Amino acid sequence: MPPIPVRNALIVDADPSLKALLARALPHGLWAIHYVASNKDALASVLTKGFDLILTGEQTSALQDVELLRTIRRLRPHTRIIILARESTPADVLASMRAHAFSLFSSPYDDDQLTAMIRLAIVSPPWDDGIEIVSATPEWIRLRLRCEVFTADRLVQFLNEIAELPAREREHVAVAFREMLMNAIEHGGQLDPNRYVEIEYVRAKHMVSCHIADPGPGFTLDEIPHAAIANPKENPIQHAEIREDLGIRPGGYGILMAQKLVDELIYNQDGNEVLLVKYLKPA
């Protein structure tokens, strides 16, 4: 029986808590974890060895890590790199997206969310990004997103870092955006990686808006009895019964949930574009 191939991870300036997190996140026996003290040492390691996953250190700035990322991707274009930074600005996050970072987390970050992103990075298929920035400033971003679930989760994390919203509003916008994005990818794009969803994100002084356009023909509410929003008042779980009959996975609450989390949820005439708006209280 041939030996199981071991994959390599390179971690920069890891503290004990991050080492413990990696021990939980990376399958035991399948990964060799290499530690270096600085970005300079990381680059030296990359010159001599290929790595499947690289995590930068929290003590460097996001801009320093983006410069490292650009250099590494010229040498190893398919390496997945997750940036951990002590702080970042929206401009830094956009720079990391343009340089094709897999993800970015600034301190303080949630251990569970980072663990989930690491696991996503190591199981995702052969990677050439999937997020295409059409134009971007920190206040107005237009992009195209490949119709893949893991790419959607990456984008949600990037926008979380860009948003600069109070915690409660940031969570509400992120959950509502992900639900509508997943609808666009799954139903409009049919999970076809050759198709793209178009997204426009605007951060105004007292408002955040997200516009999502999918490549599908659209729908009307009468055509989606498998969604919770279509339930009649006399049968609030009718959609669950329909989903079971159709063999569709449990769920169907996306539109209904998003309506509760944002202030405006507006579909276009054809049902293949949706606008989410969250109003912000003046500081």
CATH 3.40.50.2300 domain position(s) in the chain: 1-126
Please indicate whether residue 231 or residue 182 has the higher confidence score (pLDDT): 182
* Alpha-carbon Rg for the chain in angstroms: 20
- pLDDT for residue 187: 87
pLDDT at residue 1 is higher than 50 = no
Closest Cα to residue 79, out of 56, 61, 107?
56
SS3 42: helix
Looking at the predicted structure, is the pLDDT value of residue 255 above 90?
no
Cβ proximity of 138 and 95 under 8 Å: no
**Sequence letter at residue 121:** A
Tally Cβ neighbours within 10 Å of residue 210: 22
What span, in angstroms and rounded, lies between the C-alpha atoms of 124 and 103? 13
Closest CA to 273 of 281, 265, 264, 261: 265
Residues 174-209 have pLDDT tens digits of 999 999 999 999 889 999 999 999 999 999 999 999
Question: How many residues appear in the chain?
Answer: 283
Q: What is the pLDDT of residue 7?
A: 92
- What stretch(es) of the chain map to CATH 3.30.565.10? 130-283
Residues 98/135, Cβ–Cβ less than 8 Å: no
Which CATH fold topology does 1-126 show?
Answer: Rossmann fold (3.40.50)
Mean pLDDT over each residue of the chain, to the nearest integer: 88
**Average pLDDT rounded to a whole number, residues 99-117:** 95
Q: Which helix (H) or strand (E) holds 54?
A: strand 53-55
Q: Check residue 227 and give its pLDDT.
A: 54
The pLDDT of residue 29 is: 86
Q: Please state which CATH number belongs to domain 130-283.
A: 3.30.565.10
- 149 pLDDT higher than 80: yes
What's the pLDDT at 239? 47
